[in-house]
């Protein structure tokens, strides 16, 4: 039997060391070492529970807790030696603890497995990540409310099919993004509830024969519930998939927002200006100012979609319980969380600094017969059926296209060619201000409603 061992946690079963390439291929320490804080936190809670269960003495517990604190200090100081031959973050930390404490360090793993240990670590890590993401999401929503309030009276064209549809206010448009992000917030908060369930105590797959007290570690680690089945506890990755689904929706919203920002900054629209610090230039065209932040967020959305698809594919063929496949869960999950948090941070920094070009927005709203529906509604109030009004206004618009006149630019005589129900009061309806102010109901674009929605939004953020 060879005296060489590649991993002291399981080497006794093997008669030869693992091939060097296989050791590198199967190791996860290069990416799962970012779990070190949560691995140490979970181990310290486990040690405290083992003491209450009579498995460890108080002196052994204190030595383990202190030793893990010192190891955390080594990692954060950059002096810790990460070893590929020890495979993962768990064994690297345990090996260092054993090196420091001897036999006492070897006792820490009593009553648990790396299977429930890693499941616990990931949940602890993701719980913290969701909290950090929610901070950035709230910050972005605060910026949207601030800008929406400032631009409550700013008129711009609303679009369907990217064609001018009806006038809206810029503040109202911004609040649409606030609504989307509010749903994202709800999803992430709800997802966190299912993340915050403790698998520790499931051991390898069947539980443990030691008299563990799972409620103790549950309370120490701040979990809301204890996993009810050990097989599911070690193998479940629903929570990671659910997070990536919520992250994908949030990134989809940011991507749509990005698309509008890219359009609005173009020479064809010129609706807004982004500060230089969020843009770059061209190496060959000196006039260029490229909206790189929105473009990059739009592109990064695909990474998060890919993480979701990858995790679904990873899990779809796995039998119970834990399988080595699950090592592939971390990198896409890490990347999805990093991407969402960074994208939200970039937008939270950028959105309050958006400078609308109000006159250009207004002129764009004036073009394209954006008050055509208002004219139809005006005729309905005169007693005509809507479908007849729709046809009347359609003829008026055709005349406007041929003559190069917007509805508001036509004379009363010209408008009366299409219906004798049209009177001089129609011009109040055909103004941009008249159009937006007429939509004075909850969810409408009227400036008064925008300001009321901003106050509701601030109240919502204050309740979080």
Positions marked catalytic: 161, 282
What one-character-per-residue DSSP string does 215-253 give?
Answer: HHHHHHHT-SEE-S-HHHHHH--HHHHHHHHHHHHHHHH
Closest CA to 39 of 111, 112, 97, 121: 121
HSE-up (13 A, CA, CB side) for residue 370: 28
Residue 92 phi/psi, 5° resolution? -65, -45
Q: Spell out the long-range contacts of 405-411 with Cβ–Cβ below 8 A and sequence spacing 24 or more.
A: 406/366, 406/367, 406/369, 407/369, 407/371, 407/372, 407/375, 408/366, 408/371
HSE-up (13 A, CA, CB side) for residue 2: 10
Task: State the Cα–Cα distance between residues 337 and 137, nearest whole angstrom.
Answer: 13
What one-character-per-residue DSSP string does 396-419 give?
Answer: HHHHHHHHT--GGGS-HHHHHTT-
* Residue 286 Cα distances to 149, 263, 268, 275, 342, angstroms: 35, 20, 18, 17, 29
Whether 263 contacts 234, CB under 8 Å: no
Whether 164 contacts 364, CB under 8 Å: yes
DSSP class of residue 290 equals: B
Neighbour count for residue 261 (Cβ, 10 Å): 24
Burial of 322 per CB tally in 10 Å (0-12, 13-18, 19+): buried
Task: State the Cα–Cα distance between residues 84 and 57, nearest whole angstrom.
Answer: 32
Whether 291 contacts 265, CB under 8 Å: yes
Closest CA to 240 of 313, 171, 167: 313
Helix or strand run (H / E) with residue 31: helix 29-32
Whether 251 contacts 243, CB under 8 Å: no
3-state secondary structure of 273: strand
């Amino acid at each position: 039997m060879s005296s060489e061992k590649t991993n002291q946690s399981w080497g006794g079963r093997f008669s030869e060391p693992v091939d060097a390439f296989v050791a590198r291929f199967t190791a996860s320490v290069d990416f799962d070492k970012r779990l070190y804080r949560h691995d140490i936190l979970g181990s310290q809670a486990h040690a405290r529970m083992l003491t209450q269960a009579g498995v460890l003495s108080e002196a052994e517990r204190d030595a383990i807790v202190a030793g893990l604190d010192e190891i955390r200090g080594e990692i954060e100081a950059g002096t810790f030696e990460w070893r590929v031959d020890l495979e993962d973050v768990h064994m690297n930390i345990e090996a260092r603890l054993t090196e420091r404490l001897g036999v006492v360090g070897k006792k820490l793993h009593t009553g648990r497995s790396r299977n429930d240990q890693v499941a616990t670590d990931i949940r602890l890590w993701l719980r913290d990540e969701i909290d950090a993401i929610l901070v950035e999401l709230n910050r972005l929503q605060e910026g949207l409310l601030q800008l929406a309030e400032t631009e409550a009276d700013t008129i711009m064209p609303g679009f369907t099919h990217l064609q001018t549809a009806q006038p809206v206010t810029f503040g109202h448009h911004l609040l649409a993004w606030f609504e989307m992000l509010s749903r994202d917030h709800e999803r992430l908060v709800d997802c966190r509830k299912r993340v915050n369930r403790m698998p520790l105590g499931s051991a390898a797959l069947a539980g443990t024969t030691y008299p563990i007290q799972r409620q103790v570690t549950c309370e120490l680690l701040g979990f809301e519930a204890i996993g009810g089945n050990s097989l599911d506890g070690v193998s479940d990755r629903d929570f990671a998939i659910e997070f990536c689904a919520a992250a994908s929706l949030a990134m989809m919203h940011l991507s749509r927002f990005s698309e509008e920002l890219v359009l609005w900054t173009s020479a064809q629209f010129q609706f807004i200006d982004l500060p230089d610090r969020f843009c770059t230039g061209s190496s060959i065209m000196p006039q260029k100012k490229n909206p790189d932040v929105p473009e990059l967020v739009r592109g990064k959305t695909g990474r998060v979609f890919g993480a979701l698809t990858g995790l679904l594919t990873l899990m779809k063929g796995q039998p119970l319980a834990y399988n080595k496949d699950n090592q592939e869960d971390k990198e896409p999950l890490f990347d999805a969380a990093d991407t969402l948090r960074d994208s939200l941070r970039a937008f939270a920094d950028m959105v309050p600094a958006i400078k609308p070009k109000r006159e250009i927005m207004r002129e764009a709203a004036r073009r394209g017969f954006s008050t055509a529906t208002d004219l139809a509604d005006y005729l309905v109030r005169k007693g005509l059926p809507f479908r007849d009004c729709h046809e009347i206004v359609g003829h008026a618009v055709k005349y406007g296209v041929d003559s190069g006149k917007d509805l508001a630019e036509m004379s009363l005589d010209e408008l009366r060619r299409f219906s004798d129900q049209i009177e001089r009061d129609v011009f109040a309806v055909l103004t941009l201000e008249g159009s937006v102010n007429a939509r004075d109901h909850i969810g409408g674009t009227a400036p008064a409603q925008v300001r009321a929605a901003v106050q509701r939004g601030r109240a919502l953020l204050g309740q979080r």
